[in-house]
């Protein structure tokens, strides 16, 4: 079953775009290269920001007990299953022409700031779907850490910053790398958010979709898919080599 | 320095929850441009029903069918992976992240190229089903395998076998109950993911087999804001219950540990 | 360097409302070694964490070091050394860096750190393992690294939470002797939390027996063994024979004597390292335990045995 519906289609995909000329074009023509670069950069920044924010949240929540904690954790991790399109729509409500941001800036400065369709809006959307998964992974990792390690560092007189560097970062390193890699992979392949938000920004999944539907350029769509897949895989492989088991992340 | 982490937590929470509330609210306001002062209405939800009832129905049906498929395929597969100690099984387990790692759009393209021309398959709902099963199966497998491993299943099974239970009885009375929590968590995840899957569905669906998220994208692009919001609200009402249930199951499993 | 530590009316209520420690007064004289002894959940670890500054006392309680109120001082500024229950060694650092971490955190330059770390390594006899990581060490070695790490910055107060908890019996005994010698040599004010009465008796100049969130009795090991304040303390620090009518005695107070006033029936005899421990069924239905001198004949199981009682050693509760 896996063979017929997963491996064979993948093989077919590689085969379809197997014309070296197509790959050459995909990797030299500016419209494709720029899309690849934008996608990689956006995914990278998203992964770094999401992991950074999630690490702060997870570090603060771990081993801390207060009423309403379960509800808070639920709120922080539940959006993991929201599809990209919905997230994109929410970003429009937040930063679009009739969005909250526009209302606030209108009230403050008299000017309606619309960011939803810019790279900022896209980034916010990517961040939105990356955060819950990162928080869930890192919170689990932080909870699994021995609280006595942090206490030992405090007992020895370490400052908060020194504790972050010497206790938390080394302890969470595998989870940080793994969740960062998964974030990156997900962001690379995200179509839904871009489909609604990226009117002017060409990210790779959108280019593939356009090639496929509008230009009916199957060969190029296939070649770009393969490149997208390979780029994603390299990221995951790098993360693996750091010793962070992938299965722990997703 | 001390106030930074709680502040970040608060901001992240607001960023994640705020938009959900905002869109839910927008779906029942009479006119978003006027804000809340314009009053509330259910007319937009009615319009959504007119336009997209078949889409909603199809998505619910698909989620259900996907669940059945992942259960039938996933639970026995998880069981054989969990008890096997061969290298191949370990490798296969590692490979379970594959469908997460291969962008959905790439898988979808491959599927279309290979199967798109075969009879009416392309326009049948089962074509989308294949994509959904591919996407969700790893989640079912991982959740179930984790539960089976945690329950120390091989030892339990040996104990059952030593008591004289044959294969089928062992599977029913020992394996399934031991992995119950994992299967339940996996099922809820599968339903939630299938309901919200977009990356593959956008390519796999045809005008006759439009799923809910694709319909959402359609409504965002072509209809007024309130209808999009109302449709989002309908979607959230469908999606949130399995997610809450998932959280509760996860909490309970975590408590046992 | 050693400090006089004092708790004044210190209590601790947990977030869920349970009382971890009832209001407690305790004075630790400079250079003394105090063992906090009690069953799990008696509040001894809570008391230790309050001394350390890892937990805050309920309002009204105060922690004083040399008369100075340190209640609001966080652990990192109290200049204490602590050996944690699971040792909490930093897994990615070498033994030497673990030991030098406290100096590093205090901003001591490397040139001054190194001789101190070398001195500590010598003290706990781990010179050869300075470059290893914690996961390459045995349990006993880890324990010694944890001790060296706590001692390296010359703390005013040394706190040890079940320091031998993770070790097997033979090793516990060897390390106990070692630690006792070290504490005597260093003259640092120290508190040891343990649930093992033999450990508490061997290591502490003073023992505080804890029960249900409060200190049941405080005294020298001999005091507590021979003059326990109540039945719980008596039973926790040693074997207690119930003679009836509120009278109890230790095993040493009983010896076989054909003319003795008491009689029991021998139910079991255990031979342990030269001595024989005899269990007798008492007439009242209870059980008495006594030890036979080496060389004394062991009576048959089921036979009746008459006993003499040292009336001076009888305890009444």
Distance from CA of A231 to the nearest CA of B (A): 10
A192 φ/ψ sector (left φ>0, alpha ψ -120 to 50, else beta): alpha
Residue B186 touches chain A, beta carbons under 8 Å: no
DSSP conformation letters of B27-79 = TTBS-TTTGGGG-B-SHHHHHHHHHHHHHHHHHHHHHHHHHHHHHHHHHHHHH
pLDDT of residue B66: 86
Average pLDDT over residues C225-250: 89
Q: What is the DSSP letter of C299?
A: P
- A24 burial (CB, 10 Å; 0-12 / 13-18 / 19+) is exposed
CB hemisphere CA count around A42 (13 angstroms) = 29
Rounded to whole angstroms, how far apart are CA atoms B217 and B46? 18
Q: Which residues of C touch A (CB under 8 A)?
A: 15, 52, 54, 74-77, 79-82, 84-86, 88-93, 101-102, 105-106, 149-150, 153
pLDDT higher than 90, residue C148:
yes
Q: To probe the interface with C, which of A157, A162, A168 has the most C CB atoms within 10 Å? A: A157
Rounded to whole angstroms, how far apart are CA atoms B197 and B202? 9
C90/A66 CB distance under 8 A: no
Nearest CB to A156; choose among C85, C91, C101: C101
Which phi and psi (to 5°) does residue C97 adopt? -70, -40
Which phi and psi (to 5°) does residue A205 adopt? -60, -35
Tell me how crowded residue C141 is: count the other CB atoms within 10 A of its CB: 17
CATH superfamily of A29-248: MetI-like (1.10.3720.10)
Average pLDDT over residues C56-68: 92
| Confidence band for B256, pLDDT divided at 50, 70 and 90 | very low
In chain A, how many H helices and how many E strands?
A: 14, 0
Which phi and psi (to 5°) does residue B75 adopt? -65, -50
B213/A86 CB distance under 8 A: yes
pLDDT higher than 60, residue C26:
yes
Please tell me whether residue C28 adopts helix, strand or coil conformation.
Answer: strand
- Neighbouring subunits of C (3+ Cβ pairs under 8 A): A
pLDDT of residue A196: 78
Q: Note the pLDDT tens digit of each residue in B71-129.
A: 888 888 888 877 777 777 777 776 666 656 666 777 777 777 766 666 666 666 777 78
> What are the tokens at C309?
């009682």
| Confidence band for C95, pLDDT divided at 50, 70 and 90 | very high
| Confidence band for C77, pLDDT divided at 50, 70 and 90 | confident
B105/A205 CB distance under 8 A: yes
Rounded to whole angstroms, how far apart are CA atoms B59 and B45? 17
Higher-confidence residue: B40 or A107?
Answer: A107
Share of chain A above pLDDT 90, in %: 2
- Taking CA atoms, C60 is separated from C11, C22, C57, C63, in Å, by 8, 12, 8, 10
Rounded to whole angstroms, how far apart are CA atoms C38 and C41? 8
Q: What is the DSSP letter of C278?
A: E
Please tell me whether residue C70 adopts helix, strand or coil conformation.
Answer: coil
Mean model confidence pLDDT for chain C = 89
The number of residues in chain A equals 250
Q: Note the pLDDT tens digit of each residue in B157-177.
A: 777 777 767 777 877 888 888
pLDDT of residue A102: 74
Q: Note the pLDDT tens digit of each residue in A135-144.
A: 888 888 888 8
Higher-confidence residue: C136 or B73?
Answer: C136
Q: Which domains does chain C have, with CATH numbers?
A: 5-231 (3.40.50.300), 241-316 (2.40.50.140)
> What are the tokens at C172?
């516990």
ipTM score over 0.85, yes or no: no
Higher-confidence residue: C109 or B137?
Answer: C109
pLDDT higher than 60, residue B56:
yes
Q: Note the pLDDT tens digit of each residue in C252-285.
A: 888 888 888 888 889 888 887 778 888 998 887 8
Question: Do B and C count as touching (3 or more CB pairs closer than 8 A)?
Answer: no
A152/C90 CB distance under 8 A: yes
What b/e readout covers B158-170, taking b as 16+ CB neighbours within 10 angstroms? eebeeeebeeeeb
Ranking A127-131, A246-250, C33-37 by mean pLDDT, the lowest is A246-250
pLDDT of residue C299: 84
Spell out the domain ranges in chain B: 1-41, 55-256
pLDDT of residue C207: 93
A155/C80 CB distance under 8 A: yes
Rounded to whole angstroms, how far apart are CA atoms C118 and B58? 73
pLDDT higher than 60, residue A3:
no
Nearest CB to A233; choose among B33, B93, B101: B101
Nearest CB to A57; choose among B8, B102, B105: B8
Residue B175 touches chain A, beta carbons under 8 Å: no
CB pairs under 8 A between A and C: 64
Higher-confidence residue: A12 or B183?
Answer: B183
Residue B218 touches chain A, beta carbons under 8 Å: no
pLDDT of residue B116: 64
- Neighbouring subunits of B (3+ Cβ pairs under 8 A): A
A195/B235 CB distance under 8 A: no
Nearest CB to C88; choose among A146, A162, A166: A146
pLDDT of residue C109: 92
pLDDT of residue C30: 92
Distance from CA of B140 to the nearest CA of A (A): 12
pLDDT of residue A4: 54
Please tell me whether residue A249 adopts helix, strand or coil conformation.
Answer: coil
Nearest CB to B130; choose among A5, A94, A250: A5
User: Which residues neighbour C244 within 8 Å (Cβ) at sequence distance 6 or greater?
Assistant: C284, C286
Average pLDDT over residues B232-236: 82
Q: Which residues of A touch C (CB under 8 A)?
A: 65-66, 146, 148-149, 151-159, 162, 166-167, 170-171
| Confidence band for B246, pLDDT divided at 50, 70 and 90 | confident
Average pLDDT over residues B252-257: 52
Q: To probe the interface with A, which of B29, B36, B106 has the most A CB atoms within 10 Å? A: B106
Nearest CB to B16; choose among A59, A61, A128: A128
pLDDT higher than 70, residue C34:
yes
Chain A residue numbers touching B12 (CB-CB < 8 A): 53-54, 57, 76, 131, 135
pLDDT higher than 60, residue A2:
no
Share of chain C above pLDDT 90, in %: 42
A53/B12 CB distance under 8 A: yes
CATH superfamily of B55-256: MetI-like (1.10.3720.10)
| Confidence band for A99, pLDDT divided at 50, 70 and 90 | confident
Distance from CA of A148 to the nearest CA of C (A): 6
Distance from CA of C148 to the nearest CA of A (A): 12
Spell out the domain ranges in chain A: 29-248
| Confidence band for C198, pLDDT divided at 50, 70 and 90 | confident
pLDDT of residue A6: 59
Q: Note the pLDDT tens digit of each residue in B196-210.
A: 777 777 777 776 677
In chain A, positions 188-227, which contact chain B (CB-CB < 8 Å)? Answer: 188-192, 195-196, 205, 208-209, 212, 218, 221-222, 225-226
Please tell me whether residue B13 adopts helix, strand or coil conformation.
Answer: helix
- Neighbouring subunits of A (3+ Cβ pairs under 8 A): B, C
A196/B33 CB distance under 8 A: no
Nearest CB to C106; choose among A148, A155, A157: A157
């Amino acid at each position: 079953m896996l063979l017929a519906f997963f491996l064979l289609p993948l093989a077919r995909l590689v085969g379809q775009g197997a014309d070296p000329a197509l790959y050459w074009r995909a990797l030299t023509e500016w419209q494709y290269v720029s899309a690849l670069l934008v996608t990689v950069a956006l995914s990278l920044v998203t992964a770094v920001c999401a992991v950074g924010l999630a690490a702060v949240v997870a570090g603060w929540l771990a081993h801390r007990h207060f009423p309403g904690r379960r509800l808070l954790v639920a709120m922080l991790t539940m959006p993991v299953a929201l599809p990209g399109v919905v997230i994109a729509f929410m970003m429009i409500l937040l930063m679009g022409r009739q969005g909250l941001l526009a209302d606030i800036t209108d009230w403050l400065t008299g000017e309606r700031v619309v960011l939803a369709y810019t790279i900022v809006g896209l980034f916010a959307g990517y961040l939105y779907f990356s955060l819950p998964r990162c928080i869930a992974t890192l919170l689990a990792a932080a909870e699994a850490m021995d609280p006595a390690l942090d206490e030992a560092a405090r007992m020895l007189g370490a400052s908060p910053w020194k504790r972050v560097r010497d206790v938390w970062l080394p302890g969470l390193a595998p989870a940080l790398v793994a969740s960062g890699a998964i974030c990156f992979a997900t962001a690379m392949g995200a179509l839904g958010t871009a489909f609604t938000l990226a009117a002017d920004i060409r990210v790779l999944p959108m280019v593939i979709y356009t090639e496929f539907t509008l230009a009916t350029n199957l060969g190029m769509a296939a070649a770009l898919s393969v490149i997208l897949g390979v780029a994603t895989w390299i990221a995951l492989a790098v993360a693996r080599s750091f010793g962070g088991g992938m299965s722990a992340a997703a | 320095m001390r106030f930074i982490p709680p502040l970040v937590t608060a901001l992240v929470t607001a960023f994640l929850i705020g938009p959900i509330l905002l869109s839910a609210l927008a779906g029942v306001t009479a006119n978003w441009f006027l804000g809340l002062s314009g009053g509330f209405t259910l007319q937009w939800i009615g319009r959504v029903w007119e336009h997209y009832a078949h889409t909603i129905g199809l998505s619910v049906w698909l989620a259900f069918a996907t669940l059945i498929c992942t259960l039938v395929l996933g639970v026995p597969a998880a069981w054989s992976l969990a008890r096997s100690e061969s290298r191949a099984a370990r490798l296969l387990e590692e490979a379970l992240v594959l469908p997460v790692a291969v962008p959905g759009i790439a898988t979808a393209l491959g599927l279309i190229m290979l199967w798109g021309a075969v009879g009416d398959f392309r326009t049948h709902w089962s074509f989308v089903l294949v994509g959904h099963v591919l996407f969700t199966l790893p989640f079912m497998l991982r959740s179930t395998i984790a539960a089976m491993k945690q329950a120390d299943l091989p030892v339990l099974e040996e104990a059952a076998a030593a008591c004289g239970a044959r294969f089928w009885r062992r599977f029913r009375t020992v394996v399934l109950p031991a992995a119950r929590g994992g299967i339940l968590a996996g099922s809820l995840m599968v339903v939630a993911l299938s309901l919200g899957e977009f990356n593959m569905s956008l390519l796999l669906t045809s005008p006759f087999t439009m799923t809910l998220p694709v319909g959402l994208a359609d409504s965002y692009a072509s209809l007024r804001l309130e209808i999009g919001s109302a449709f989002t609200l309908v979607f959230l009402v469908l999606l949130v219950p399995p997610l809450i249930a998932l959280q509760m199951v996860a909490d309970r499993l975590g408590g046992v540990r | 360097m050693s400090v006089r530590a004092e708790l004044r009316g210190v209590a601790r209520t947990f977030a869920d409302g349970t009382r971890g420690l009832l209001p407690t007064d305790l004075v630790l004289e400079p250079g003394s070694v105090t063992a906090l002894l009690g069953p799990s959940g008696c509040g001894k670890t809570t008391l230790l964490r309050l001394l350390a500054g890892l937990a805050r006392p309920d309002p009204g309680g105060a922690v004083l070091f040399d008369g100075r109120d340190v209640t609001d001082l966080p652990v990192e500024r109290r200049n204490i050394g602590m050996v944690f229950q699971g040792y909490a060694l930093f897994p990615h650092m070498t033994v030497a860096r673990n030991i030098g971490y406290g100096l590093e955190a205090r901003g001591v330059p490397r040139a001054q750190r190194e001789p101190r770390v070398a001195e500590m390594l010598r003290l706990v006899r781990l010179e050869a393992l300075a470059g290893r990581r914690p996961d390459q060490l045995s349990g006993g070695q880890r324990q010694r690294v944890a001790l060296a790490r706590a001692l390296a910055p010359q703390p005013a107060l040394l706190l040890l939470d079940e320091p031998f908890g993770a070790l097997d019996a033979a090793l516990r005994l060897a390390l106990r002797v070692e630690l006792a010698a070290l504490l005597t040599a260093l003259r640092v004010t120290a508190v040891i939390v343990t649930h093992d009465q033999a450990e508490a008796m061997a290591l502490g100049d003073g023992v505080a027996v804890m029960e249900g969130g409060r200190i049941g009795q405080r005294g020298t090991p001999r005091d507590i063994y021979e003059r326990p304040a109540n039945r719980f303390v008596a039973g926790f620090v040693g074997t207690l024979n119930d003679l009836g009518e509120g009278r109890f005695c230790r095993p040493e107070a009983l010896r076989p004597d054909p003319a003795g006033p008491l009689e029991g029936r021998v139910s079991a005899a255990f031979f342990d390292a030269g001595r024989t421990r005899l269990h007798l069924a008492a007439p009242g239905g209870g059980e008495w335990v006594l030890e036979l001198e080496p060389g004394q004949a062991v009576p048959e199981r089921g036979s009746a045995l008459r006993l003499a009682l040292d009336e001076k050693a009888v305890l009444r509760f």
